[in-house]
Structure 1
């Protein structure tokens, strides 16, 4: 049986997605301007990285989780015991869940900030990030092979992270000014 998982696979996948994002930014830079190209590519990279970190099994040796031992529903125990069970670089799982979504919220604002329609698109995008988090949790519930758990705490932390990133993006918007990179045909 071939198994894929672990932090090495997550990091390698995130690096590969980062390389693809850089190539995309270079390809669309002339059309969108540097700030918008980096923002759109950064948003796509962050979405890919979130998918990798949340949907790749934490260990390569997980194996198949028997159907009778898998959870049948999401945990509604807010702040439950899973937060302290996992730690990376001194950060607990709850902090990591928040930090994971910060770049997506920030890049979202900067990506749509070049257009006036961004005033409507940015809040819709924030709602889409919340839906993405819900989709990930439901996928973790359905795919027992991942050995992951659907947890309302994760969804709240993810949306909090997206909201923090959204606020950072709003603060950076006047500095980055993605609208100035537009080129007009002369």
Structure 2
């Protein structure tokens, strides 16, 4: 049982499963107070952000319980576009593309969650800044918490931020078609 909680795909999938159940419950609760489109968009936004955390802060593979101080990175890599793994342990593809794609749903759901309100422009802009800050925070944690055996990389921050921006653009297209402000 210890292997399940020490990293790798089983731990990530368990975390995503818990997030799915919790976000379903949050969506049902929000439906009491908000219109369905807004309630489900907010619940899905929270789920997307939580899933990003699980996928990026869970050890990629089972790691040793102790990592020697001399083996721990002391700074973030500023080698933009530099060496990164060719693909991902769950899905194939370029690591940079996957970093971008991971933040697209959060950006789109951000727009969808706030589109109904008059302050949507400000809230979406603040939310986009928060997603960029979240990416920076994740990379900082990957640097500071050596036990998760992840690497801090400025390329990841840029790709994640670009993914959030692409998501906002897609969210704008969705709300232009759905027009949630017209729904009861």
Do these two structures clear the TM 0.5 threshold for a shared fold by scoring above it?
A: yes
CA-based RMSD of the aligned residues comes to 1.5
**In the aligned structure 2, how far is the partner of 1:119 from the partner of 1:85?**
35
Q: Distance in 2 between matches of 1:176 and 1:85?
A: 35
Match of 2:28 in 1: 26
Partner Cα separation in structure 1 for residue 160 and residue 51 of structure 2: 13
Specify whether residues 90 and 151 from structure 1 end up closer, same or farther in structure 2 by C-alpha distance, changes over 3 A only.
same
Equivalent pair of 2:86/2:93 in contact (CA under 8 Å): no
Taking the aligned partners of 1:62 and 1:94, their CA distance within structure 2 comes to 27
Distance 2:61 2:74 in 1: 22
Given that residues 109 and 122 in structure 1 are in contact (C-alpha distance below 8 angstroms), is that contact kept between their aligned partners in structure 2?
Answer: yes
Count the aligned residue pairs: 181
The CA deviation string for residues 68-123 of structure 1, in whole angstroms up to 9 with x for no partner, is: 11111000001111142645432121111111101100110111111010111101
Instruction: With the length of structure 1 as denominator, give the TM-score of the two structures.
Output: 0.91
Aligned to 2:172: 170
Per-residue CA shift, 1:127-162, capped at 9, x if unaligned? 110000000000110001111000001001100110
Which residue of 122, 128, 131 corresponds with 1:129? 131
Q: 1:77 aligns with which of 63, 76, 79?
A: 79
Confirm or deny: 8 A CA contact 1:46 1:104 kept in the other structure.
yes
Please say if 1:150 is aligned against 2:152: yes
Check conservation: 1:50, 1:101, Cα contact below 8 A.
yes
Which of 99, 102, 106 is 1:100 aligned to?
Answer: 102
- 8 Å CA contact retained: 2:45, 2:113: yes
Please give the TM-score of this superposition, normalised by the length of structure 2. 0.92
Give 1:174 deviation, angstroms: 2.2
- Give the aligned partner of residue 58 of structure 1: 60
Structure 1 residue runs of 5 or longer lacking an equivalent are none
